[in-house]
Amino acid sequence: MLTTAAVIGTSLTAYAAYYDIYGNIEQQNINTDAFGDRPSRVEGALNIMVIGSDIRTGENANYGEAEGARPDSLIVAHISPNNGRASLINLPRDLIVDLPACKGSGDKPGMPAQRGMINSPMSFGGIQCQWKAVEQVTGIHIDHFVSVDFSGFKGIVNSVGGVRMCIPEPIDDEKAKLHLEAGEQVLNGEESLGYMRSRYGQGDGSDLSRIKRQQEFLGAMLNQIMNGKILTRPGNITSFLGSVTETMTTDDQLTLEVMTDIAIAMREVDMGNINFVTAPNGQAPSDPNRLALTQPQASQLFDAVSKDQSITGDDGGGEGSGGDKGKEQEKEQVKPADISVEVLNGEGTPDLASQVGQWLTTEGFQVAGTGNPLQIPSQTTIYYGPGKKAHAQALADEAVNATIEESPNLGDTVQLVLAQDWEGFTSTAGSSGGSSGDSAGGVEGTTAAEAEQKCS
């Protein structure tokens, strides 16, 4: 939930030497030597585990009760200054993964190796357990961590004067304490926190749709911070840093010198090269209310990040890059919301059609149904009726490997028939997909430059 604000806030803390703010930050010693074998790190790249904590004590007690402290959101922020790009990878809190054993610390008991939710290690063993788990699950070397709680997030938003958003429909969510009218408006800290936490009052009520809204919000806020007057006026910087550091926790190796390096690096990254992505996932076979990583797409994404390679296939080209983006602009524009699709599973993996349907729904497609085909084609095929070729092609562009074929008996709904060669989806941020080259297929995401928040 707090990814961009925390990373930018941490970066800007380089200025704190001039305003005596650095001392506000709470720091923890993390014994990474106790992790054993760790993923290799790439010189010149930086990976930060960013935690939006849902701790409900102190100033956060008004947001209900919750046992312990755990990530309400969990993100790996990858900064690659040598390549002029940055990526923020959401790890959905509903992900079920294999977690490593971790020793307790203080009043936390630790935990044995087990299969559980990605955000649970923090409750059992604190930040150190969470750090170790993220490294083992992703294979990405984590250099530092940043954690901000609810009150800290509100302060960040208020310090930048609120964030302008387009609210497409009225929102009435008692659980998130959020009540908004439809239309373009500037959200204050309390409203922004409610918007970021709101799950059942918007969309389909899933954590995935909430993550997508969070990415849009954070992109809008990042645009506001980077393109506004916050970085140009000392008074604004002071206010911003004061709000961030009062509720920020980091590791004690995130020194002023490191923060200065991050600040310099972030200023060189174009907004079109800051990617918000979600780890590829689908419904967990063991629990319909939980998620599991979709393979091989998730491993491809994590491997690209761990090696400091592009996850979008454009090598940091940003909005102005040509190639596939230029070709896409020449095609007939068909929006996902205009496409009705039925997903049929001929690949053989149980519940695959439902997983694919769920992903398509989060991307805005209209999923008409799922099931199994009467006949299985030799390769993954999208069948379309008269006048729906552009719809089929737009859907095919989202897949790593899918061909299209006209079927005169079909109506307005296209059919995606998964065959044995099914390899998942390409990146919505511009990836050409597959495992070739230095891009990672199956990535759901957007760029900060695409976070346009004006109502049309």
Question: 3-state class of 209 per DSSP?
Answer: helix
Q: What is the pLDDT of residues 408-443, one digit of tens each?
A: 999 999 999 999 999 888 643 333 233 333 445 445
- For tokens 């208020």, the residue is 158
**Residue 385 CA, distance from chain mean position:** 35
How sure is the predictor about 232, in pLDDT bands with cuts at 50, 70 and 90?
A: low
Answer yes or no: is 319 within a domain.
no
Q: Are residues 298 and 351 in the same domain?
A: no
74 is in which domain, residue-wise? 3-306
Query: What are the tokens at 6?
Result: 């925390």
Question: Is the pLDDT higher at 425 or at 19?
Answer: 425
**pLDDT at residue 230, as a whole number:** 62
Phi then psi dihedrals of residue 340, to 5 deg: -95, 125
36 and 62 in a common domain: yes
Beta strands in 279-380 (DSSP E): 281-284, 287-293, 340-345, 366-371
Nearest to 5 by CA among 212, 130, 149, 207: 149
Q: Is residue 21's pLDDT more than 80?
A: no
Could you list the beta-strand ranges (E) of 112-222: 114-117, 144-148, 163-167, 171-173, 178-180, 183-187
Q: Which of 258, 279, 306 is the last residue of a domain?
A: 306
> What b/e readout covers 79-115, taking b as 16+ CB neighbours within 10 angstroms?
bbbebebbbbbbbbbbbbbebbebeebeebeebeeee
Is the residue at 338 inside a domain? yes
The confidence score (pLDDT) of residue 443 equals: 59
Rounded average pLDDT over 370-393: 93
Please check the confidence at residue 87 and state whether its pLDDT lies above 70: yes
Residues 270 and 183 reside in one and the same domain? yes
**pLDDT for position 440:** 53
Share of the chain above pLDDT 90, in %: 36
**Residues 405 and 285 placed together within one structural domain of the fold:** no
Segment 154-168, tens digit of pLDDT: 888 887 888 998 888
For residue 445, give the 3-state DSSP assignment: strand
The string over 378-403, giving b where at least 16 C-beta atoms fall within 10 Å of a residue's C-beta and e elsewhere, is: eebbbbbbeebbbbbbbbbbbbbbbe
* pLDDT of res. 432: 28
Is residue 92 a contact partner of residue 292, using CB atoms and an 8 Å limit?
no
- Report the C-alpha dihedral over residues 219, 133, 70, 13, rounded to 10 degrees: -50
Task: Based on the fold, state whether residues 276 and 379 are members of the same structural domain.
Answer: no
Domain co-membership, 34 together with 83? yes
Domain assignment of residue 373, yes or no: yes
Q: Is residue 438 part of a domain?
A: no
* Residues ≥6 apart with Cβ < 8 Å to 55: 66, 69, 149, 150
* Amino acid 286: pLDDT: 84
pLDDT of residue 166: 87
Residue 454 lies in a domain: no
Same domain as 165, residue 244? yes
User: Do residues 27 and 87 both lie within one domain?
Assistant: yes
- Mean pLDDT to the nearest integer, 172-196: 89
- Indicate if the pLDDT at residue 329 is higher than 70: no
Query: Is the entire prediction scored with pTM above 0.75?
Result: no
Q: Which residue has the higher pLDDT, 20 or 117?
A: 117
| 59 and 169 co-located in one domain | yes
Domain count, the chain: 2
Choice between 137 and 426, residue whose per-residue pLDDT is larger: 137
Residues sharing a CB contact under 8 Å with residue 201, sequence separation 6 or more, in sequence order: 171, 172, 173, 174, 175, 176, 178
| H or E segment and range at residue 104 | strand 102-105
Q: Is the domain of 206 the same as that of 255? A: yes
User: Do 137 and 91 belong to one domain?
Assistant: yes
In a domain, 376, yes or no: yes
Q: For helices 207-227 and 352-362, give the axis angle rounded to 10 degrees.
A: 30
Concatenated DSSP letters for 216-284? HHHHHHHHHHHHSSTTT-HHHHHHHHHHHHTTEEEETT--HHHHHHHHHHHHTS-GGGEEEEE--EEEE
Nearest C-alpha neighbor of 303 from the set 119, 89, 99, 130: 89
Instruction: Say which range, 31-35, 115-119, 323-327, 424-428, has the weakest mean pLDDT.
Output: 323-327
Q: Mean per-residue pLDDT for 113-131?
A: 94
Give the per-residue pLDDT at 436: 32
Q: Kindly state whether residue 228 falls inside one of the protein's structural domains.
A: yes
253: CATH? 3.40.630.190
- List the one residue out of 299, 300, 343, 291 whose CA is nearest residue 431: 300
Using an 8 Å Cβ cutoff, are 250 and 27 in contact?
yes
344-353 pLDDT, tens digit each? 999 988 888 8
Q: What is the CATH number of the domain that holds 404?
A: 3.30.70.2390
Domain boundary among 306, 332, 364: 306
> Does one domain contain both 185 and 253?
yes
Do the domain assignments include residue 444? Answer: no
Per-residue DSSP letter, 149: -
Over residues 444-456, the pLDDT tens digits come to: 567 777 765 566 6
pLDDT at 258: 77
Range scoring the smallest mean pLDDT among 180-194, 199-213, 367-381: 199-213
Pick from 36-40, 53-57, 90-94, 443-447: least confident = 53-57
What is the model's pLDDT at position 314?
A: 56
How many other C-beta atoms lie within 10 A of the C-beta of residue 370? Answer: 20
Mean per-residue pLDDT over the chain, rounded: 79
Quote the CA–CA distance of 267 and 264 in Å, as a whole number. Answer: 5
